[in-house]
Structure 1
Amino acid sequence: MAIEAVVFDLDGVIIDTEEVWEQVRRGYVAEYDREFLPDTQDRMMGMSTPEWSGHLANDVGVPRTPEQVADDVLSRMAERYRTSLPLIPGSIEAVQRLGARFPLALASSSARVLIDQVLETAGLTDAFRVTLSTEEVPRGKPAPDVYLAACEKLGFAPSVCAAVEDSSNGLRSAGAAGLAVIAVPHGVYPPAEDALALASMVVTNVSELSPAVIEGLR
């Protein structure tokens, strides 16, 4: 069963923003004299905007509504992206190589406003036939919703699609949706062993991806 399409994650695969997200959200929480819970960072990786903003408001205790938390944090992230977009070396070229052979989709936990900003700044607006935020599906990662929706919009069954992911929740999401999963583990935030075990292939850098690599998955 040959792979016919590829779905990319964004944060940690195309742009190296997990540390930026952590810095911005920790700083924001500290302004209200609150601190992350021991598992806050791990839990938020892959969460949709309503999910992580709800966590910061309801569990961490930021005295703002989830909607206000989301607006505050997203505005700070957008400003960071406008001034300095942390592209992962080789990621644009990898997208372009695979896009010359396969239809591409993007399935991200970032908000729509940030997805659009990143793609515009990186010159990748036309690289993807489909772009989805977990804001636009019922549940964020690790639920399979965003990957199932991406495959449906591309017009392919999940079984003939490959996913490129870095985080535990992202790997779980793509695996639960039935895609062939390529893991690109983040050096600072490596995925859990159970999540990594869902991958059909593990590469050390996104620059290793090529049509031949994708075709060898099935």
Structure 2
Amino acid sequence: MSAQAIVFDLDGVLIDSEPVWEEVRRGYVADHGGEWPPGTQERLMGMSTAEWADHIATDLVAGVTADEVAYEVIDQMSQRYAGGPPVLPGAEDAVRRMARYRPLGLASSSPRALIDLVLGTLGVDGLFRATVSTEEVDSGKPAPDGYLAVAAQLEVPAPGCVAIEDSANGLRSAHAARMRVIAVPRPSHPPAPDALALAVHVAGGLDEITQELIEGLGPS
């Protein structure tokens, strides 16, 4: 099956937000007297809002609810994005280039409010035919739920979609949905080797995401 749609991740693909998420959540945990064990950020990447908030409330701090964690962290993230989200080089061009080629979807672990804020700020919200936050499905990444929901909204079989991902959990999620995955790893949070091996192509940057690359992948 040839590529019928392109599905982007948001955090780490279009915006360099993972360091911001880590700083905000790590700060929240510190402010509430908790500890931030090694590997926590990688563990949280891809989780839905409910999942990471519950993890923080249950395992990292005491005396707060998951709802309280989510509200405060997302509010801080919104404030950080107010001056403009940390857009990665080539992100807007990649979205516009791919939108001229195939229908676009987005499967993100960010909450809906931040997805809409970022895409609106970039001026590309109208280019996506379907956007899904993992808070809107049963399970976050690495489960395939978000990617399957996007494919359903696009009315495209999941194997007909090509996903653009950066994280280990994101790569596993798109692969579990039976999509072909192009990895654009972030040096600050490189994916695990076994997850990176699931990618059909590893790109050095968004400038590599072209029609020629997609068509060169061949059928799924």
Q: Please, what TM-score do these two structures have when normalized by structure 1?
A: 0.98
Partner of 1:168: 168
C-alpha contact 2:48 2:109 (8 A) present in aligned 1: yes
Partner of 1:148: 148
Comparing 29-38 with 200-209, greater Cα deviation is found at 29-38
Question: Which letter does structure 2 place at the counterpart of 1:12?
Answer: G
Q: Secondary structure at the match of 1:7?
A: strand
Question: Which letter does structure 1 place at the counterpart of 2:50?
Answer: P
For residues 79-127 of structure 1, give each alpha carbon's deviation from its aligned partner in whole angstroms, at most 9, with x where no partner exists: 1111231000101000000000100000000000000000111111101
Over aligned residues, Cα RMSD in angstroms?
Answer: 0.8
C-alpha contact 1:24 1:77 (8 A) present in aligned 2: yes
Q: Work out the percentage of aligned pairs sharing the same amino acid.
A: 53
C-alpha contact 1:29 1:62 (8 A) present in aligned 2: no
Shift of residue 41, structure 1, vs aligned partner: 1.1
C-alpha contact 1:159 1:179 (8 A) present in aligned 2: yes
For residues 43-64 of structure 1, give each alpha carbon's deviation from its aligned partner in whole angstroms, at most 9, with x where no partner exists: 1000000000001000112421
Partner of 1:188: 188
C-alpha contact 2:143 2:176 (8 A) present in aligned 1: yes
Q: Secondary structure at the match of 2:131?
A: strand
Partner of 2:212: 212
C-alpha contact 2:144 2:177 (8 A) present in aligned 1: yes
Q: Please, what TM-score do these two structures have when normalized by structure 2?
A: 0.97
Cα distance in 2 for partners of 1:28, 1:172 equals 28
Gap runs ≥5 in structure 1: none
- 1:86 pairs with 2:86: yes
Partner of 1:18: 18
Cα distance in 2 for partners of 1:216, 1:49 equals 36
